[in-house]
Amino acid sequence: MSPGYFHVMRIPLLRGRFFSEQDSPSNPNVAIISETLAQRYFANQDPIGKQMRFGFPPNGNVSREVVGVVGDVRDVALSQKPGPVMYVPFVQAPLYGGEVVVRTSLSASSAAAAIRQAVHSIDKDLPVTDVGSFKDTLGQSVSRERFRTFLLGSFSAIALVLAAVGIFGVISYSASQRTREIGIRMALGAQRRDVLHLILGQGAKLALLGLSIGIVLALLLTRFIASLLFSISATDPLTFGAVAIVLLGVAVTACYIPARRAMRVDPMVALRCQ
């Protein structure tokens, strides 16, 4: 890693320091470790100043001093928890190849051309391959998960619409069956808002009952979708609360139209209804 790598990738420094130009081959070998590695091998102690060995060629047997601890990075997959990582200066452990990370305001094509020009100015025979933006690379890594999410979201939206239509149909039919009852209530002095509260209350009770059963079943079945989630628990209370509010809102809205229709019933017409 070069000294500016962590700044470009915006990996936070939790303890110690970043690499500097003084970390050259002639100076003591150093390393920076990730938070997961620090917690796993240096629990309840300060890892700064500890000695570690970098188990990878070309100098795997060299002991290195830990000079910093940085935040974890999901460099394999977003759905996979970060593992222990050790970073070493490139000049102290050079390899036959590497990756260059550039943060720029230029377009992807302009940045790629500038990178190739800079590399070829050093060695015209040095190949530059797999040039792409971080956004595109990230999008490709989550394309499968994004497609699954799209399918689940589409099916969920269809289910929500079907549920709203079903609730609307049930409440409308129930209200039509109670036309005579509503007429009697209004003839005895019930106000329109009382009829509105009656129909909405009936729908809200059914919605709350179904919502309670649905939440219990969802909590029991969340383990089947846990592998599709990352950075969030399968039983996240905020998500469950938001979904419950949305479903309850849809149910109340579906009940409101039949309730408005019922409150406009003419008592005399309703009393003659068989």
Tell me, yes or no, whether 88 and 125 share the same domain.
no
- Residue 133: the pLDDT is 77
Whether residues 73 and 162 share a domain: the answer is no
pLDDT tens sequence across 54-95 = 766 556 577 888 999 999 888 777 767 788 888 888 888 877
Last residue of a domain, one of 98, 127, 153: 98
Same domain, yes or no, for 122 and 186? no
**Cα→Cα distances 208→126, 158, 198, Å:** 67, 20, 15
- Tell whether 62 and 158 lie within a shared domain: no
> What is the secondary structure of 202-264 as a DSSP string?
HHHHHHHHHHHHHHHHHHHHGGGTGGG--SS-TT-HHHHHHHHHHHHHHHHHHHHHHHHHHHT
Whether residues 72 and 162 fall in one domain: no
Q: Residue 144, Cα to own-chain centre: how many angstroms? A: 14
**How far apart, in whole angstroms, are the C-alpha atoms of residue 232 and residue 75?**
18
Let me know whether 20 and 90 are in one domain: yes
Single out the residue in 66, 98, 130 at which a domain terminates: 98
174 and 214 assigned to the same domain: yes
32: β partners: 68, 87
Which of 63, 98, 133 marks a domain boundary?
98
The encoded tokens of residue 226 equal 């846990």
Mean pLDDT of 224-239: 74
Q: Same domain for 265 and 148?
A: yes
Same domain, 119 and 186: no
Q: Which residue has the tokens 């309703």?
A: 270
In this prediction, residue 254 carries a pLDDT of 77
* Whether residue 65 is found in the same domain as residue 129: no
pLDDT at 273: 55
- Quote the pLDDT of residue 67: 92
Q: Residues 226-250: what's their mean pLDDT?
A: 78
pLDDT at residue 174 tops 80? no
| Residue 216: count of CB within 10 angstroms of its CB | 10
Q: By residue range, what is the domain housing residue 59?
A: 5-98
- pLDDT tens-digit map of 115-157: 888 888 888 888 887 777 777 777 777 777 788 888 888 988 8
Q: How many domains does the chain have?
A: 3
> Given this model, what pLDDT does residue 69 score?
93
Q: What is the three-class DSSP state of 127?
A: coil
- Whether 189 shows a pLDDT value over 80: the answer reads no
Same domain, 89 and 106: no
Residues 154 and 168 in one domain: yes
Dist. CA 150–CA 147, nearest whole Å: 5
